[in-house]
Structure 1
């Protein structure tokens, strides 16, 4: 079973209350038993636990009879800017591919309570979503919210319609999602396992409309800090990170990590998912952060590649671009510019003289 003690932005709860009130449900009915103070809903920096938000959803769903489409209303109101630094990190990413990687690395900062992972198959991106740990009485509503938020925000973020080729909907929820899927002309079938959305990935290396690689790095750092503060980077993920730091060439297999932690690979994956991350995400964060720190000290790309166990600068540069969306050389130059002290204006005049 998943633990719901990690924290989330109160913005999601505020939207849920807005939707409920538009259907005639009072604030006190929404918040009953949640321990969420009404004042928190208008406090931008406030947070609630995942358990509190789930109880809020349960109150609304129970009181209103869980009508189909209610979760879609909540999802449509959840704009990318509602997600704070996460949304800014995604929007400023250099390419659609790097934006997707950021979104998956910090998936737990979105609306979803589910586990998610993705793989590339030729020119397709396969996005898996497993909501089996989500309480059954709110699973349908939350599924509607997640799908609606994803599809309606896609065009805002990427500047194009969501290129979903087909979907496989598990848990018997396809009929509930069908109006939304048909609106976006997405073919779908029922599935026994986790949900699956298959995207056309042929345009994934296209530049983002509001690309700003260094800005994206800044906001991604904020996302990492937010995960840490909200309790999503302690426990097992911290132990995995420590093991990764002892093998900087990135060749430490998941099976070896699980064995070192005295658990099965399946158990390790499940527990990491409960903490809102995955082995792959931890690799990207750990190696990416270390590479940034080394480059910021003034070491050359070749030196950093050697220290991190790569065979040469080209292979390291390829990995760094996958982690951060820009070349290590460009990152190093920007870091040098940020750390260079400004020349006083009087000195400028003396030089000109």
Structure 2
């Protein structure tokens, strides 16, 4: 399956077409080359591929010239309730922390085309977004939509204004996002990547205004089923272990913690992983090692990557990286830089 063949809810594309229509662009022009039948835009539960949605966005941006405020309006109109069971699962969570964890667990059901993860640090929680795989001509447009959707929905979901403390924006896209961030009084800086949104976590364990512990499990199960249907989840116990590892980015989660999270004994988890041809150690190496490599390849220092992955310092991160990859992170970063330099001169 190519990178853009996974399926998404039609609603995101339908919102783009709706706003484009208000600006004078015909539906047929929005859908040109997508293979989408116009009536399906209004069909509840309809799905399209990520590639089709990207084509819709590109058609609109090309035809209208990426007008200021278009992507922001698209984000504002993407209500949590329009995201179906995902929105219901988040809103019915018992606490703010559990709502955030559910949102991150099923992040692929939201608007973004990027890859996200989060880390709790004392009285803050850090949301990372790596959108380097998004086509360059749409990266700013889609990031603007995603940020607008996140901040405008915060009040609806949590019942309070978004407690965003600061933002770090990569790829030269900060100027584009400044109107949104300044509108919420959020300071921001440029960064090498990935993007980072830092939130105040002092009220992280506060109850949700629409908590419904008896129904959240049902909605979450439906979210998990959606991910499976759309080809967005790794199957088996190994896939579940990877999900837990990515949610606990500080590298200090134990096998016992993971097994408890899967509601099985440590012995059973090890046996099930062995049956799937892997092990807990191998999954840690794959999951944390790959993420560290991606961050180092962006040009971040070893210290920055250590901090972003939740380590206390460069030394502890370096020791872990050596176990994962058999070399120091500094050596890997230098080799990655050299490969990029050679590729640029070919």
| TM-score, L = length of structure 1 | 0.70
What residue number does 1:53 align with? 53
Structure whose alpha-carbon radius of gyration is higher: 1
| TM-score, L = length of structure 2 | 0.72
What residue number does 1:345 align with? none
| Kept after mapping to 1: 8 A contact 2:233/2:239 | no
1: CA distance, partners of 2:41 / 2:239: 36
Structure 1, unpaired ranges of 5+? 271-353
What residue number does 2:6 align with? 6
What residue number does 1:140 align with? 140
1: CA distance, partners of 2:93 / 2:201: 16
2: CA distance, partners of 1:242 / 1:112: 23
Kindly report structure 1 stretches of 4+ aligned residues shifted beyond 6 Å: 242-247, 250-254, 267-270
Q: 1:229 to 1:183 in 2, by over 3 A?
A: same
SS of alignment partner, residue 53 of structure 1: helix
2: CA distance, partners of 1:162 / 1:265: 33
1: CA distance, partners of 2:234 / 2:99: 25
| Kept after mapping to 2: 8 A contact 1:169/1:188 | yes
Cα RMSD of the aligned pairs, angstroms, is 2.7
Picking from 277, 287, 290, the partner of 1:266 is: 290
Q: Deviations 1:159-216 (Å, cap 9, x if unpaired)?
A: 0000001111111111101011111000111111111011000001000001111211
Q: 1:240 to 1:85 in 2, by over 3 A?
A: closer
What residue number does 1:86 align with? 86
Deviation, 1:240, is 3.6
2: CA distance, partners of 1:239 / 1:181: 39
Q: 1:31 to 1:164 in 2, by over 3 A?
A: same
SS of alignment partner, residue 155 of structure 2: helix
Deviation, 1:231, is 1.1
1:219 matched to 2:243? The reply is no
What residue number does 1:73 align with? 73
1:145-164 matches, cutoff 5 A = 145-164=145-164
Q: Count residues in correspondence.
A: 267
2: CA distance, partners of 1:24 / 1:238: 50
Q: Deviations 1:288-315 (Å, cap 9, x if unpaired)?
A: xxxxxxxxxxxxxxxxxxxxxxxxxxxx
SS of alignment partner, residue 220 of structure 1: helix
1: CA distance, partners of 2:20 / 2:76: 14
2: CA distance, partners of 1:198 / 1:82: 26
What residue number does 1:168 align with? 168
| Kept after mapping to 2: 8 A contact 1:2/1:133 | no
1: CA distance, partners of 2:220 / 2:196: 26
2: CA distance, partners of 1:258 / 1:92: 32
